[in-house]
Amino acid sequence: MTWIVKACKHWTLVLVLFAFLAILGCEGTETREQVDDAVEELAGKKNLDRMDQMKKDINKAAQQQAERFKKTVESAEEK
């Protein structure tokens, strides 16, 4: 039974090393970019970035709308 535990410890280490080498082996290539994109997508980073950009766009639109409203009120007061 202890041989199973020892084997599992070694296999885990071997798998981690192979994964590390696979990631390092595609450094600077399109494959690395695809791996990074996939990881960011799975981690939710891309969605957070999109939501942050949407917030910025909404705030910018709201600010522009407030400026337009302010100009409209000022021009109405002049008349």
Q: What is the pLDDT of residues 7-60, one digit of tens each?
A: 666 666 666 666 666 666 655 677 777 887 888 777 778 888 889 999 999 999
Q: What is the pLDDT of residue 65?
A: 96
| Tally of domains within the chain | 1
Contact 31/22 with Cβ under 8 angstroms? no
Q: What is the pLDDT of residue 32?
A: 73
Look up the domain containing 14 and give its range.
Answer: 2-78
* Cα radius of gyration (the chain): 27
Q: Residue holding tokens 């100009």?
A: 71
Q: Per-residue pLDDT tens for 57-66?
A: 999 999 999 9
Residues in CB range of 22: below 8 A, 6 or more apart: none
